[in-house]
C-alpha cells in the first residue's frame, strides 16, 4: 500500500512515520500546501518524492475549492497513491478526495474528539479550562474532525500549562498513536463499520 502524507509545517508527525521501519517503505509521496516548510526537507532527506500544491496557484476564483481538490487528486493518482495520512495538514479537502480515498484516509487531532475540533485544539482546551485533553486518530469523513475514531489517549492539563508546554506533551502522544494507526492501515488490520473503527490485533 502506497501512502501520501499531507503536511503544512514542521513535519514532526511525518518524521515519526519515516522513522518507523514498518511504515517508511509505504511512504510514496509527501504533499504540502506551502513551499519551503521543514516537512519537505524531512521528506527530501528520506528520499521521498514531494509535491507542493498551493491553493492560490490553482484556485481561480478563490471560491472554487473544487479546482484545488482536483489538483491534489491528480497528484495522488499520478503517484499511484492507495491511502492518505494527514499529518498537520491545515487545508480542507472535499468530496472528490473522500470519494477516492474514503476509509483509507487517516488524520490526527490534538484533542479528545468530539471535544475541540478545528485548527486550534490545544489553544481551545487551555482556554476552556479542561483538566484532561488528549490526542485522537480518526478516519476522515465529510465533516470537520468528525470521522470514526481509531485511537485516543488522554493527557492531563496542569494549572501552569501554557500552549508550548501542553503542545509538547500532545506531540509526544501523536508521535506514538499516529504510527500505530498507520501500521494497522498498511497491514490491512484497520476496520471501519459505520461510526466504529478499530485495529485488529495480531494473535
* pLDDT single digits (tens) 56-98: 765 555 557 788 899 999 999 999 999 999 999 999 999 999 9
* pLDDT single digits (tens) 178-189: 999 999 999 999
Q: Does residue 157 contact residue 112 with C-beta atoms inside 8 Å?
A: no
DSSP symbols for 102-156:
TTSEEEEESS-TTSS-STTHHHHHHHHT-SEEEEEEEE--SSSS-SPEEEEEEEE
Please check whether residues 147 and 196 belong to one and the same domain: yes
Within the chain, what is the greatest distance between any pair of CA atoms?
Answer: 53
Q: pLDDT over 70 for what percent of the chain?
A: 96
* pLDDT single digits (tens) 186-199: 999 999 999 999 99
pLDDT at 201: 85
Q: Does residue 22 contact residue 183 with C-beta atoms inside 8 Å?
A: yes
Please check whether residues 82 and 134 belong to one and the same domain: no
Per-residue CA distances from 186 to 25, 92, 139, 175, 199 (Å): 10, 24, 14, 17, 11
Question: Nearest to residue 183, comparing CAs of 12, 19, 6, 9?
Answer: 19
CATH code assigned at 29 = 3.40.50.170
Q: At what angle do helices 163-186 and 121-128 cross, to 10 degrees?
A: 130
Please check whether residues 132 and 192 belong to one and the same domain: yes
Least confident of 32-36, 61-65, 103-107: 61-65
Phi, psi dihedral angles at 143 (to 5 degrees): -90, -175
Please check whether residues 132 and 191 belong to one and the same domain: yes
Active-site residues, by number, are 109
Counted residue by residue, the chain has a size of: 203
Last residue of a domain, one of 101, 132, 148: 101
135 is in which domain, residue-wise? 107-203
Q: Does residue 100 contact residue 79 with C-beta atoms inside 8 Å?
A: no
Please check whether residues 114 and 65 belong to one and the same domain: no
Amino acid at each position: 500500500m502506497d501512502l501520501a502524507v499531507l503536511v503544512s509545517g514542521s513535519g514532526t508527525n511525518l518524521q515519526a512515520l519515516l522513522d518507523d521501519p514498518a511504515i517508511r517503505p509505504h511512504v510514496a509521496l509527501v504533499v504540502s500546501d506551502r513551499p519551503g516548510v521543514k516537512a519537505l526537507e524531512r521528506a527530501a532527506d528520506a528520499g521521498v518524492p514531494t509535491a507542493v500544491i498551493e491553493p492560490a496557484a490553482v484556485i481561480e476564483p478563490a471560491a472554487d475549492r473544487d479546482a484545488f481538490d482536483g489538483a491534489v487528486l491528480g497528484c495522488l493518482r499520478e503517484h499511484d497513491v492507495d491511502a492518505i495520512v494527514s499529518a498537520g495538514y491545515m487545508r480542507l479537502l472535499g468530496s472528490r478526495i473522500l470519494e477516492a480515498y474514503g476509509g483509507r484516509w487517516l488524520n490526527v487531532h490534538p484533542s479528545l474528539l468530539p471535544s475541540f475540533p478545528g485548527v486550534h485544539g490545544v489553544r481551545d482546551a487551555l482556554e476552556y479550562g479542561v483538566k484532561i485533553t488528549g490526542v485522537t486518530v480518526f478516519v476522515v469523513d465529510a465533516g470537520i474532525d468528525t470521522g470514526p475514531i481509531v485511537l485516543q489517549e488522554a493527557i492531563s492539563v496542569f494549572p501552569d500549562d501554557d500552549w508550548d508546554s501542553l503542545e509538547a506533551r500532545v506531540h509526544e502522544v501523536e508521535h506514538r498513536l499516529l504510527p500505530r494507526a498507520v501500521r494497522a492501515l498498511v497491514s490491512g488490520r484497520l476496520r471501519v463499520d459505520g461510526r466504529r473503527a478499530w485495529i485488529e490485533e495480531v494473535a
